[in-house]
């Protein structure tokens, strides 16, 4: 595929993901085949995770939004920034929809995701010491989540990079989460993300995850701030 076509496809996928976060909320297509992340993530896990779990968050979010006229016409980002005002169904399913839409975009077939840009690498090195040090700290954060949740690399409101975790489907956009920030990278550590292949061994999933990170999307998010 030539670079112009690849770039056009990237724009189409970004537009589909953005559209999925406006009402009525919808399931964005996976930006690759379900088996494209093998052997790191198997096709069956991806199909169930995307087609059933993520779809359920979308369906439940649309139903919950119908119950609260204040939410009419709002985007998911707007809703989450004021999530303390709304019910738990909106928080859990809205977070589920946002987090998974982001997560699919942050993955790519091994070899296709590129590397951190010089600018991102410089920021990571300044904050964490080296890319490897960052990876170890991010892994440790992911392994520290008790039960279900997420680990994040965010840019905080002061412009600093930070590694954070959230429980359940909470995320750093929500006004109930501290610190707030713009997500740059995220890993889903719910068991549904890895159990079929890795069973209870979250460490194997987390430490084996780096080859399928879509650094091109992380770079784009970092540059966009």
Residues near Mn ion (CB under 5 A) are: 188, 190, 193
Which is closer to Mn ion, CB of 188 or CB of 217?
Answer: 188
> Closest distance between Mn ion and the C-beta of residue 110, in Å?
20
**Both tokens of residue 80?**
């989450």
Tokens describing residue 206? 């987390």
Do residues 197 and 41 touch, judged by C-beta distance below 8 A? yes
| Shortest Cβ 25–Mn ion spacing (Å) | 16
Point out the residue whose Cβ comes nearest to Mn ion: 188
Q: For Mn ion, which is the closer residue by CB, 153 or 193?
A: 193
- First-to-final CA distance of the chain: 29
Q: Do 166 and 181 contact (CB within 8 A), yes or no?
A: no
Spatial separation of the C-alpha atoms in residues 151 and 84, rounded to whole Å: 21
Closest to Mn ion by CB, 23 or 55:
55
Query: What are the residues whose beta carbons fall under 8 Å from the beta carbon of 178, sequence distance 6 or more?
Result: none
For the CB of residue 151, give the shortest distance to Mn ion in the complex, in Å: 13
Pick 170 or 188: Cβ nearer Mn ion: 188
Q: How far is the CB of 40 from Mn ion (least distance, A)?
A: 16
């Amino acid at each position: 595929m030539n670079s112009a076509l690849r770039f056009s496809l990237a724009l189409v996928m970004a537009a589909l993901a953005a559209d999925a976060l406006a009402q009525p909320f919808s399931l964005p297509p996976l930006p690759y085949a379900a088996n494209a992340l093998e052997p790191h993530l198997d096709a069956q896990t991806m199909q169930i995770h995307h087609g059933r779990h993520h779809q359920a968050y979308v369906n439940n979010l649309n139903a919950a939004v119908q119950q609260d006229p204040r939410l009419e016409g709002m985007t998911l980002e707007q809703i989450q920034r004021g999530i303390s005002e709304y019910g738990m169904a909106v928080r859990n399913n809205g977070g589920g929809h946002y987090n998974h839409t982001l997560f699919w975009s942050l993955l790519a077939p091994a070899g296709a995701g590129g590397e951190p840009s010089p600018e991102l690498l410089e920021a990571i090195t300044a904050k964490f010491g080296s890319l490897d040090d960052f990876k170890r700290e991010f892994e440790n954060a992911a392994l520290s989540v008790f039960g279900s949740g997420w680990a994040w690399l965010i840019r905080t409101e002061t412009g600093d990079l930070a590694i954070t975790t959230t429980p359940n489907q909470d995320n750093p956009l929500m006004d109930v989460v501290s610190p707030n920030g713009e997500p740059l990278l995220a890993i889903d550590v719910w068991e549904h993300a890895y159990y079929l292949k890795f069973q209870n061994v979250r460490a194997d999933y987390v430490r084996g995850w780096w080859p399928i990170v879509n650094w091109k999307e992380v770079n784009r998010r970092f540059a966009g701030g």
